[in-house]
Amino acid sequence: MKYKLGEFVRFVEERREGYITRIIDENTIAVTDEDGFEIPVLASQVTRVHGQDSNIETPSEKKQEQDIEFVSTGIFLAVASDKKAGSVVHLNLVNTSSFELLTTLTTEKTSKIKGEFSGIIKPKSSAQLFSASLNELDQWPTFHFQILRFANEISEIKKPIEYTEKFRAKDFSGAKKSSEYLDQPAWLIQLDSEAPIIDPQKLKESFYRPAAEKLQLEKPAKEIDLHIEKLRDDYQFLNTDEILNIQLAHFTKSLDGAIVHKLPSIIFIHGSGNGTLRNEIYKMISKHAQVKTFMDAHKEKFGYGATEVFFK
């Protein structure tokens, strides 16, 4: 297979182009076009479009910055979505420490072991190690990372880092975070974090902490978008009930915040869809003591997909 995930290709026999989002087998790939449709096609029926950035070139190191002081920790595994093919993700090793990292990545799947990457990652830099389709998470291999840390002058010998992971959907349930060595947010896992030290006194104090504390609600925006992709990065792994519960929880929090901060009204963008979310919202606000009335908002923009709630 001469093609890789994330490459930009054009169909040979028709006017269509897009990014490779899945490797089906040795002869077949799936290409997602600009309209978001994934199309299975023989690899022989497409050709590369040169000059397009596919984001899957061999790992490159970012320019090393001058160290002001030696930083002994800060090694992260970062899983970031491809900028152009959203269903493709890249596993990067981000080195914010002052160590040079001799790194190897080996994958294991159905008892087959394969070397994926080996190299030196400089301090204050990152390297892309592996690419995969997030839609095929259950088919990902087990990842084995081995890392040796090197510096000319150090105060102690650091043990090698050995990290093994078989990713599950829950691993992507948290929010993405930014890193100065990646140009986009990513799910971050720190590989060199030390075990937390438990302070017995603080633990004891936590037992006697008042159970009820005053709830501080932030002032919400004028418009609240309840589409699940706006609320969670891991929405692909959520079922229908989980999505609805998350949307309603965000709706309730924003509604309460609007009342606490005495907003005259607030707009909720819930979409049209099958009407389930809209109906649940209507049930809640129609019985709410602080709601004066509600109506469709900006029909010329949202149709029946948004509701403005007015308060007493």
Same domain, yes or no: 181 and 266: no
CA atoms lying within 13 Å on the CB side of residue 79: 23
Q: Let me know if residue 61 belongs to a domain.
A: no
Q: Supply the pLDDT for residue 64.
A: 45
Cα angle, residue 166 at apex, residues 164 and 171 outer, rounded to 5°: 110
Last residue of a domain, one of 190, 210, 244: 190
Same domain, yes or no: 181 and 124: yes
> Which residues on adjacent β-strands are paired with residue 22?
30
Q: State the chain's maximal CA–CA distance in angstroms.
A: 72
Q: Supply the pLDDT for residue 108.
A: 95
Same domain, yes or no: 41 and 79: no
Same domain, yes or no: 238 and 161: no
Q: Could you tell me if 5 and 20 are in contact, meaning their C-beta atoms sit under 8 angstroms apart?
A: yes
Q: Let me know if residue 257 belongs to a domain.
A: yes
Chunked mean pLDDT (size 10), the chain, 312 residues = 82 87 86 82 86 49 54 92 84 94 95 93 94 88 95 84 89 81 89 64 54 64 92 84 90 91 93 87 89 88 88 90
Domain count, the chain: 3
- Give per-residue pLDDT as tens, 208-264: 555 444 456 789 999 999 999 889 888 888 888 889 999 999 999 999 999 988 999
Same domain, yes or no: 34 and 117: no
Q: Let me know if residue 57 belongs to a domain.
A: no
Distances (CA, A) of 243 to 167, 169, 257: 21, 15, 21
**DSSP per-residue letters across 259-296:** HHTT-SEEEEE--STTSHHHHHHHHHHHT-TTEEEEEE
Q: Let me know if residue 304 belongs to a domain.
A: yes
Q: Is the pTM of this model over 0.85?
A: no
Q: Residue 162 sits in a domain of what CATH number?
A: 2.60.40.1600
Question: 44: which 2 tokens?
Answer: 């022989």
Query: What proportions of the chain, in percent to the nearest 5, are helix, strand and coil?
Result: 20, 35, 45
- Give per-residue pLDDT as tens, 100-117: 999 999 999 988 999 999
Q: Residue 298 sits in a domain of what CATH number?
A: 3.30.1370.110
Question: 149: which 2 tokens?
Answer: 């840390």
Q: Let me know if residue 161 belongs to a domain.
A: yes
Angle between helical axes of 240-260 and 276-286 (0-180°, round to 10): 30
Question: 20: which 2 tokens?
Answer: 């490779």
Q: Let me know if residue 211 belongs to a domain.
A: no
Q: Could you tell me if 80 and 92 are in contact, meaning their C-beta atoms sit under 8 angstroms apart?
A: yes
Q: Let me know if residue 115 belongs to a domain.
A: yes
Rounded Cα distance between 37 and 87, Å, is: 12
Cα angle, residue 221 at apex, residues 304 and 176 outer, rounded to 5°: 95
Q: Is the dihedral of CA 195, 201, 204, 208 positive or negative?
A: negative
Q: Supply the pLDDT for residue 208.
A: 54
> Which residues on adjacent β-strands are paired with residue 133?
88
Q: Supply the pLDDT for residue 267.
A: 95
Question: 118: which 2 tokens?
Answer: 């080996």
Same domain, yes or no: 25 and 124: no
Domain span holding position 233:
223-311
Rounded Cα distance between 236 and 242, Å, is: 11
Rounded Cα distance between 148 and 160, Å, is: 5
Rounded Cα distance between 263 and 311, Å, is: 8
Residue 177's contacts (CB-CB under 8 Å, 6 or more residues apart) are: 185, 186, 187, 188
Q: Let me know if residue 53 belongs to a domain.
A: no
